[in-house]
Amino acid sequence: MYLGLSLTELMEVVRTCDSIDIEDCTPPYLQDFFAKRLEGDKPVLAARVRNMNAKQIGAVCEYVKITRQLIRKPQRT
C-alpha cells in the first residue's frame, strides 16, 4: 500500500505516540491525534496525514503498533 510518506516522515508520525499507549485506539482517533501533534512543528506532514484515506491510516496505525511492540521494554514479573 502506498502511503505517500518517506521513512523519515513515517518515523515522525511514530514519534507522536511516544507518551501514549495506542493498543485500543481506532484509526480515525489516531489520525486526528497524529495530525494535532504534528501541526505545530510539521504542518505540511499534518495536512498529509489528515488527507489519508481509511486504508492508509489503518496501515499507519498498524505500523505504529508493531514499531512500539518492537521497541517496548519487556515487563519484569
Q: What is the pLDDT of residues 9-25, one digit of tens each?
A: 999 998 888 777 766 66
8 A C-beta contact, residue 60 and residue 52: yes
Kindly tell me if the per-residue pLDDT of 6 is higher than 80.
yes
Q: Within a 10 A sphere around the Cβ of 26, how many other Cβ atoms?
A: 11
Mean pLDDT of the 64-70 span: 84
- Rounded Cα distance between 46 and 51, Å, is 9
Question: Domain-by-domain residue ranges, the chain?
Answer: 7-71
Judge whether residue 72 has pLDDT over 90.
Answer: no
